[in-house]
């Protein structure tokens, strides 16, 4: 049996320029978080998560799953639809897959990742490794992928690892969680999320200023150059990281602490994006 081709749930794929242009025209400028995760960006992210000696999240979550996988799936008897948001290389969900296959002999896995080629390649690898597993990759961002899963019947276990819940803008978290709630509509459905509670500023700074994270962030320039015939030059940018303690109450969160990371221009510069101009004409 082969993994099915990835379902695309990303509306922004139909008009990438419409999704990117507002952020490039804003102040400060930004691109949507998902835009970093083309195939190369996904590879760089996995390097940053697994090979960065200061990034503890991957190691801690993997250990927790290895120790508790049996308890996590203990209430399931039949086929489970395991949905992993931001599946990456699928190392962590595979721990649950192996346990489900051992217990029930079957599992349907829905890995979600923004990069279609990346998620399809990992789906093929899993299918080759796991007897009794069916894989249905989804290429898209998490919100639309969850809405797609609402049309899929059967018991669901939605997993959300890698601290990626923390990348959701605070003003969008309520909407995201509402979508999760609407997706886990049956009594046995579950949502398992990993959230890093570490508030040691020095430890967080070491993790997110490591060279692997810098490489991951710079990938966005390469993708803009490729997608829109742009002429961004890496030498004109610095990687910028801040640990923020905000004394205000934001979105009902008192004194939130969070990090911001991105690229900062080192000079005044003019950048051309040929394909966006063609789109607007």
User: Average pLDDT for consecutive 10-residue bins of the chain (281 residues)?
Assistant: 60 66 89 89 92 94 96 92 93 96 94 90 90 92 93 96 86 93 94 89 94 96 92 96 86 82 93 66 38
Taking the CA of residue 91 as centre, how many other CA atoms within 13 Å lie in the half-sphere pointing to its CB? 13
The residue among 98, 100, 88 whose CA lies nearest residue 154 is: 100
Cβ within 8 Å of residue 79, ≥6 positions away: 104, 106, 107, 108, 154, 155
Tell me what pLDDT residue 14 has: 43
Q: State in words which class domain 1-232 has.
A: alpha beta
pTM: 0.87
Query: Any idea where the domains of the chain sit in the sequence?
Result: 1-232
At residue 236, the 3 state secondary structure works out as: helix
Using an 8 Å Cβ cutoff, are 18 and 24 in contact? no
C-alpha triplet 71, 166, 48: angle, nearest 5°: 85
Tell me what pLDDT residue 277 has: 53
């Amino acid at each position: 049996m082969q993994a099915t081709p990835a379902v695309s749930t990303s509306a922004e794929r139909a008009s990438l320029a419409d999704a990117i242009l507002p952020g490039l025209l804003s102040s400060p400028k930004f691109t949507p978080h998902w835009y970093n995760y083309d195939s190369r960006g996904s590879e760089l992210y996995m390097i940053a998560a697994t090979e960065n000696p200061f990034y503890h999240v991957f190691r801690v979550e993997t250990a927790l799953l290895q120790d508790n996988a049996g308890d996590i799936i203990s209430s399931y008897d039949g086929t489970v639809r395991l949905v992993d948001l931001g599946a990456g290389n699928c190392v962590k969900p595979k721990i649950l897959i192996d346990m489900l296959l051992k217990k029930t002999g079957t599992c349907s896995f829905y890995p979600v990742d923004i990069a279609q080629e990346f998620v399809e390649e990992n789906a093929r690898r899993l299918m080759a490794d796991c007897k009794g597993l069916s894989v249905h990759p989804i290429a898209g961002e998490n919100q639309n992928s969850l809405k797609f899963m609402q049309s899929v019947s059967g018991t669901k276990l939605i997993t959300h690892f890698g601290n990626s819940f923390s990348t959701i803008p605070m003003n969008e978290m309520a909407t995201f969680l509402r979508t999760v709630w609407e997706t886990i509509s049956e009594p046995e459905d579950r949502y398992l999320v990993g959230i890093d509670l570490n508030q040691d500023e020095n430890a967080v700074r070491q993790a997110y200023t490591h060279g692997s994270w810098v490489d991951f962030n710079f990938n966005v320039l390469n993708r803009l150059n490729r997608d829109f015939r742009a002429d961004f030059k890496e030498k004109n940018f610095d990687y910028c990281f801040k640990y923020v303690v905000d004394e205000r109450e934001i979105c009902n969160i008192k004194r939130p602490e969070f990090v911001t990371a991105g690229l900062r221009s080192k000079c005044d510069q003019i950048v051309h994006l040929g394909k966006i101009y063609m789109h607007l004409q």
